[in-house]
Structure 1
Amino acid sequence: MLKHRDYTFLGTTQSLCPDCLQLLPAKIISKAQRVYFRKQCPVHGSRDDFVCSDVQWYDRLEYSVPAKLPQQMGIEPRQGCPFDCGLCTEHEQHTCIGLVELTAGCNLNCPLCFAQSGPQGEHLSVVDCCRAIDRLVEVEGRPEVLQLSGGEPTLHPDFAEILQYALAQPIDYIMVNTNGVRLARDRQLLELLAAHRDRVEVYLQFDGLQESTQVALRGEPLLATKLQAVERCGDVGLHVTLVCTLQAGVNETEIGPLVLYGLERPWVAGISFQPATYSGRHFLPQQLESRITFPDVIHAIEGQTGGVFVEQDFFPLPCAHPNCHSLAYAYRHEGRTIPLTRFIDGERNLDLLANGISLNRPAARDIIEQYLGRLGCCSGTCTSGVDDREMVGDQSGENAVAKLTN
């Protein structure tokens, strides 16, 4: 009787040797329901790199829709991906989120910082910051989101000037990526951001609700500071996205409590869970096999929230690689949370959500109206295809749109 291999072959790709960065052919394989890239470096030998904790979820991500192209490309390919810098003609997608790192300086010295930022980091000049913003607008036309990042961007001595310049450009939303230390203590900074609350959102580092989590990931007890930053943003009407870095053995049990914490605060517009990046100060090769991947996060959200969100509510963001970004949209009304997939089949209508990341009220209205149109609905007569419409208090498709988006 023939023996079986100890793995299942799923496909092929290209990958890098983590030691010498040589580009290598790789097999995509599964072992014990986990996904790996198997590659052979002529110098450093063979290795299986862990990619995804659930092969069924990995397979589920294998669908997409046609991408949007930027108005112009940055360069012609020379060395090939991933060695060319900038959007070349071989790039498969436009820039969903532009990011400008204003500074390498930071008022924290986090043990897991992949950028190795710290108090001694240097600032980018205002001219260079504005040039980067100009280039984003040039290639995108009207970018949806620009993130001002770092380091800690609010430490840049000309932060206000750079923010005002970004706001003067045809960019829908400006996100300020911040650890929240200044927000908790600096009223003037809060007022600067709140003056533009219709276009400025805070992208706030927020790893959990336990002090031990703050110490493990940020190197010092910061829980009171983080909580104060969240509440002060709410006081001035600033929308916040909480950004949780996940480290196995540290804060994976806080995923559900964080979701519920955010749902209780109307100004918290979203929560981004980001598995720790093993680079910079946080290179821990012995932990690669136990690291958290997206299926772990999604299963934890379902299990730790009592099913407020379930696995089927999540789908890949079409403008990103499906293994890099999965999301769920939801509507909050009178203390209830209703995931968008209770109204729309996300997989069959992925094109309605493609090529962007923000979902404001007008965009939500447009999506629902397009979806109802596909179902053949008209005013007051749509009686099938939209599940849980009673949860927003009306059986009319048209009224469901109004309640979902107002």
Structure 2
Amino acid sequence: MRLGVGEVKKKPLEVLERKLSVVQPTNLDTSLPRRTLSLCPECRRLIPAEIYQEDEKVFISKRCPDHGEFRDLYYGDLETFERFHEFALDGVGVENPHTTIRNSCPYDCGLCEQHYSHPGIVNIDITNRCNLRCPICFANANALGYVFELDYEHVAAMLELLKELRPVSPPAIQFSGGEPTIHRDFLKMIRKARELGFPQIQVATNGVKLADFQFTQALVDAGLHTVYLQFDGFKEEVYETARGMRNLLEVKMRVIENCRRVKPEPLSTVLVPTVLKGVNDDEVGEIVNFGLENLDVIRAVNFQPVSLSGRIGYDERMKFRYTIGDLIRDLVDQTDYLEKEDFYPVPVAAAISELVSAVHGEEKVAFTCHPACGAATYLFKTDDGRVTPITRFVDVEGLYEKSLEISQNIKGKRFGRIRALVKSFDILRYIDQDKAPKGLNLRGILKAILLKATKRSLADFHWKTLFIGTMHFMDLYNYDVERVKRCVVHYVTPDGRLIPFCAYNTGPTYREEVERKFSIPLEEWKNVAERENAGD
């Protein structure tokens, strides 16, 4: 069904001066209290805000001249917040920005020259239709009165645009919505992404269609790499609260089994729980344990603390507000193998990206998001059932600092090409192989990454471990422009722009503007669909 209006802009602006690094020292103020910019939850005007500590937590407060004072919890654990900021790094943005700067962030998204990071994961919303009616969904797919659904030609052009990004094209694209699996051309879109050579092709799904084994196998045959499966816990009442219906757990279990059964190998599955305080925060440890029990198919658990929408008073927000600091504390309390110190902010991994880029003389993707945006660790499970976090045998901070030091020396021309490669092996000393789980040769894997930096060498690591991650997407109450400027998760739009996740969904009205521009009224869509189905 062709609903597109206009054309994808394939001609980006003139390429800026090339940067040889993928990270740089941050200019972020990491002290408390500190000033930032935020948005008014009522009128979305850009207003000053302050981030400050109180009762071992971090809060944000702001005042709109028309709508008054607003206060919200920014981060639930001061100690973790301050530790994470020690690893703040900025990226280098994009060399071919698609929009010019006319206003202040976040009003010039496209990306513009103000953006510090390059895209690591790009979402493509291919429809706003859905086969569920989730109360917490920011896409609000069934209540808008119009259908936003891109045709194959538009999506193909958007994928081609992403391959042109510099200094590095995004390694991962994720089809999203709505529910992307109900789009009639979804398999064709996956095949196009595979044809273009994206290393990671993903789908964010509620799993309803993947309960059909034949459909799941068709996804694999088309070229899908990873399923991001909405998975909110094990209690039916959780699904009733979060998704508007019971009996969804059985569907999720069937999807996981189908992903296990497909050929030629299991389809990599990431569990994605949306966490609401007082609803399913008591199950986060059990969800991780479930992932560890199914390592043959589940590769990661990526928690998403709920983003609150609509007009909600402070007391009501605090009933549901859940932050990364709260999640880490609950994971420690609900498991017998995790500590707070096992978690690090996402930019820690960017130091390795910088080193690999320096050694190979070409830019690699670096996840240089704001320290408050996410957290992660890796867990390894041995045959006897013992679970070991990566921090028990890797000096993460030493590895981080040494990687940056060697990178600077390479870029400073202190090492030739061969010596640079040999010198990069110095980071291997921060891995205590004697304490590593039996059978895991992490030194060998990291050495292979430095030598070849191939998808296979990275896969060797990920297929032996469970990644535990979290990203806390913002809403209008805890909005911080400094986080938007460093976002690494973006949406590509039909008119050729790249917009940070939190700007697209909860900042200025980008989602509404894009969807209305490329949509038709619901009743008109039903008539068109009926005619097309009759012709099939």
TM-score, with structure 2 as normaliser: 0.64
For 1:46 and 1:163, locate their aligned partners in 2 and report how far apart those are by CA, in whole Å: 46
Paired residue for 1:362? none
Decide which structure has greater helix share: 2
Structure 2 contact 187–222 (Cα < 8 Å) conserved: no
When the two chains are superposed, the root-mean-square deviation of aligned CA atoms in Å is 2.9
Paired residue for 2:476? none
* Structure 1: gaps spanning 5 or more residues: 1-7, 355-368, 378-384
For 1:107 and 1:100, locate their aligned partners in 2 and report how far apart those are by CA, in whole Å: 18
2:375 is aligned, of 317, 326, 329, to: 326
Paired residue for 2:156? 130
Structure 1 contact 149–176 (Cα < 8 Å) conserved: yes
Letter in 1 for 2:396: G
1:271 is aligned, of 301, 304, 312, to: 301
1:390 is aligned, of 421, 426, 435, to: 435
Cα deviations across residues 141-177 of structure 1 (Å, max 9, x unaligned)?
A: 4421100000000011111111111111131101111
Cα deviations across residues 294-352 of structure 1 (Å, max 9, x unaligned)?
A: 01111111111112x22111111112221111111233442443322223333343479
2:283 is aligned, of 232, 246, 254, to: 254
Paired residue for 1:164? 191
For 2:346 and 2:118, locate their aligned partners in 1 and report how far apart those are by CA, in whole Å: 13
For 2:303 and 2:209, locate their aligned partners in 1 and report how far apart those are by CA, in whole Å: 22
1:54-69 matched pairs, under 5 angstroms:
54-62=77-85, 63-69=87-93
1:156-305 matched pairs, under 5 angstroms:
156-184=183-211, 186-195=212-221, 200-221=225-246, 222-236=248-262, 237-266=266-295, 267-279=297-309, 286-290=315-319, 291-305=321-335
Q: Secondary structure of 2:36's partner?
A: strand
User: 1:270–1:375: structure 2 CA closer, same or farther, 3 Å change rule?
Assistant: closer
Paired residue for 1:45? 68
For 2:218 and 2:234, locate their aligned partners in 1 and report how far apart those are by CA, in whole Å: 27
Q: Secondary structure of 1:315's partner?
A: coil
Structure 2 contact 377–389 (Cα < 8 Å) conserved: yes
Cα deviations across residues 262-321 of structure 1 (Å, max 9, x unaligned)?
A: 1111210000110111126x96764322411001111111111112x2211111111222
For 2:270 and 2:386, locate their aligned partners in 1 and report how far apart those are by CA, in whole Å: 19
Give, in angstroms, the shift of residue 73 of structure 1: 1.4
Structure 1 contact 78–84 (Cα < 8 Å) conserved: yes
Give, in angstroms, the shift of residue 105 of structure 1: 0.3
Structure 1 contact 137–143 (Cα < 8 Å) conserved: yes
For 1:50 and 1:40, locate their aligned partners in 2 and report how far apart those are by CA, in whole Å: 15
Letter in 2 for 1:330: L
1:82 is aligned, of 100, 103, 106, to: 106
Paired residue for 1:4? none
Structure 2 contact 33–51 (Cα < 8 Å) conserved: yes
User: 1:338–1:372: structure 2 CA closer, same or farther, 3 Å change rule?
Assistant: farther
**Is 2:370 aligned against 1:345?**
no
For 2:402 and 2:269, locate their aligned partners in 1 and report how far apart those are by CA, in whole Å: 25
Letter in 2 for 1:207: D
Give, in angstroms, the shift of residue 248 of structure 1: 1.1
2:426 is aligned, of 351, 374, 378, to: 374
For 1:109 and 1:370, locate their aligned partners in 2 and report how far apart those are by CA, in whole Å: 55
For 1:117 and 1:242, locate their aligned partners in 2 and report how far apart those are by CA, in whole Å: 22
Structure 2 contact 35–51 (Cα < 8 Å) conserved: yes
Structure 2 contact 88–370 (Cα < 8 Å) conserved: no
Letter in 2 for 1:158: D
Structure 1 contact 148–176 (Cα < 8 Å) conserved: yes
Letter in 2 for 1:163: I
Give, in angstroms, the shift of residue 231 of structure 1: 1.3
User: 1:351–1:331: structure 2 CA closer, same or farther, 3 Å change rule?
Assistant: farther
**Is 2:58 aligned against 1:32?**
no
Paired residue for 2:176? 149
Q: Secondary structure of 2:256's partner?
A: helix
Q: Secondary structure of 1:389's partner?
A: helix
Structure 2 contact 231–252 (Cα < 8 Å) conserved: yes
4+ aligned runs moved over 6 Å, structure 1: 351-354, 369-372, 394-397, 399-404
Percent of aligned positions with the same letter in both sequences? 33
Give the number of aligned pairs.
374
Q: Secondary structure of 1:168's partner?
A: helix
Structure 1 contact 201–239 (Cα < 8 Å) conserved: yes
Structure 1 contact 145–172 (Cα < 8 Å) conserved: yes
Give, in angstroms, the shift of residue 56 of structure 1: 1.6
More moved, 145-154 vs 70-79: 70-79
More moved, 389-398 vs 310-319: 389-398
For 1:113 and 1:370, locate their aligned partners in 2 and report how far apart those are by CA, in whole Å: 49
Give, in angstroms, the shift of residue 204 of structure 1: 0.3
Cα deviations across residues 87-139 of structure 1 (Å, max 9, x unaligned)?
A: 10110000011110010000000111111013874312222222222222211
TM-score, with structure 1 as normaliser: 0.84
